[in-house]
Amino acid sequence: MTALPLADRTITEVAAALRAREVSARELTDACLVRIERDGERLNTFLALDAEGARRAADDADRALSAGMDGARPLLGIPYALKDIFVTRALDEDGNDLPGGLPTTAGSFILSGYRSPYPSAAQEALERAGAILLGKTNCDEFAMGSSNENSAYGPVRNPWDEATVPGGSSGGSSAAVASGQAYFALGTDTGGSIRQPASLTGTVGMKPTYGRVSRFGMIAFASSLDQCGPFGRSVRDVALVLGALAGHDPRDSTSVDVPVGDYAAALDGDVRGLRLGVPREYFVAGMEPGVEAAIRAAVETLRGLGAEIVEVSLPSTDRGLATYYIIAPAEASANLARYDGVKYGLSAGADELWENYDRTRGSGFGPEVKRRIMLGTYALSAGYYDAYYVKAQQVRTLIKAEFDEVLSTVDAILAPTSPTVAFKIGAKTDDPLAMYLNDACTLPVNIAGLPGISVPCGLSDGLPVGLQVIGRAFDEATVLRVADAYERAAGFASLRPPTARDEQ
């Protein structure tokens, strides 16, 4: 076992120790809770916590483990956190508060105090797998953002440098996993919201193929792009969690019935004979030299492991941003129409219905959400629909076709996850377009619906850099295999931020 403190170890390490009864689920849970107590408020990682419920679940897990009743529960006794965009059951049948039930806000004032009457598919799947829910993590409002500065509940700080952002929109999840507050966490990724924060916090984050994981109970941002996925401290950990999440769910009609492999068991560290493409368009102007150097070095590491590296071209890459910023806001403007001040959430209390809509939405949504609703409504409005929305859908066809063509000649694609390392809090808040450019390397993958992972590939200026591996639809296995082989060879897997220490 490594010399890292208990809270900073991988699931793979602590799960083995759990089964050998060298450590208890209660100790793992307390290790996370101690870190949350010490660093949580300062980093602003959690929006809701159920410490008592987590301890109770840990004791249950310990009893099951001692009795040899671990079943086939791969995550039994492992504490985790959910991005506060997944609903968690907080009401009983009679509408009364369940003890320990966690509210769901999506990082927005408009859902302040919302208590869900039902659980998300992700929460159910992880409960079945035996994992212990600690709480809900901070995020950009309705998952719209690249820095976590758009949360109505304040920005999250990056444990590597607390003056910088942890990425977004799943910034609370990335920061929690990086700083030992949870062994894994879930995020959602519409344009990079798992991979980019993973890159900025030195964690592993995966967006599965669109349709791989159920979106039931995941608050919608852009329904043709959203997908749920894990953050972890190793590729193997992420593979384990993905295995628990993946699969068809009749409650999400876009979840696809494709067999789920044993992702973790297939990680053999061998990439010999694989063809990996490096798209020249991903090494863009504005990319930090330190990031480019780390990515180039990672490519050489994989070449050294026996992969065949080929340069490829995805010529429409620079159209991704414009395509995304039509499609995503258009879908968001329709999805967010449900916040009407009538069924749940904030209500302005106006006497007349239209006035109540206007005032509730005007006071409940933050600036970025308003911007996207406006942009999307504009793109869908009479006279602009064909010029913007249909045009973007046509370019989407081209972007997807280019990926399909390249992925018919290579097994996976290697690219940077983010063109920069973590930037200072406040540095880009006045310039939405500059903020949007953070996701230039990740959002084409959502447009094409493909699986992608970010794995740490070193530091630049003392801050983490992420290598992105992109694969064919439903071929998460190859994406994970490449990322795992790289992780083993590169020696960055044990990088931890300054928070990774216990008090003496």
Partner 1 sequence: MASITRDDVEHVANLARLHLTDAEIDRMQAQLSNILEAIETLRDVDTSQVGPTASVIRLENIMREDVASLPMARDAALANAPLRDDPFLRVPTVLEEGR
* Amino acid letter, residue 438: N
Nearer to partner 1, 373 or 483 (CB): 373
Nearer to partner 1, 58 or 447 (CB): 447
Say if CB 314 and CB 281 are below 8 A apart: yes
Say if CB 228 and CB 206 are below 8 A apart: no
Read out DSSP for 335-349?
Answer: HGGG--SSSSS----
367-380 vs 320-335: helix axis angle to the nearest 10? 100
Say if CB 433 and CB 211 are below 8 A apart: no
Q: How many CB atoms lie within 10 A of CB 204?
A: 31
193 is catalytic: yes
Q: Which residue has the tokens 């230039």?
A: 440
Tell me whether residue 93 is exposed, middle or buried, using C-beta atoms within 10 angstroms of its C-beta: 0 to 12, 13 to 18, 19 or more.
exposed
Measured distance CA(276)–CA(300) in Å, rounded:
11
Rounded least distance, CB 496 to partner 1, Å: 36
Which residue in the list 173, 193, 199, 316 is annotated as catalytic?
A: 193
Nearest to 59 by CA among 22, 28, 95, 16: 28
Measured distance CA(320)–CA(318) in Å, rounded:
5
Say if CB 197 and CB 208 are below 8 A apart: no
Q: How many CA atoms lie within 13 A of 188 on its CB side?
A: 34
169 is catalytic: yes
Nearer to partner 1, 16 or 353 (CB): 353
Nearer to partner 1, 62 or 402 (CB): 402
Measured distance CA(401)–CA(421) in Å, rounded:
30
Which residue in the list 108, 169, 199, 418 is annotated as catalytic?
A: 169
- Which secondary-structure segment (H or E) carries 414? strand 412-416
Q: Active-site residue numbers?
A: 83, 169, 193
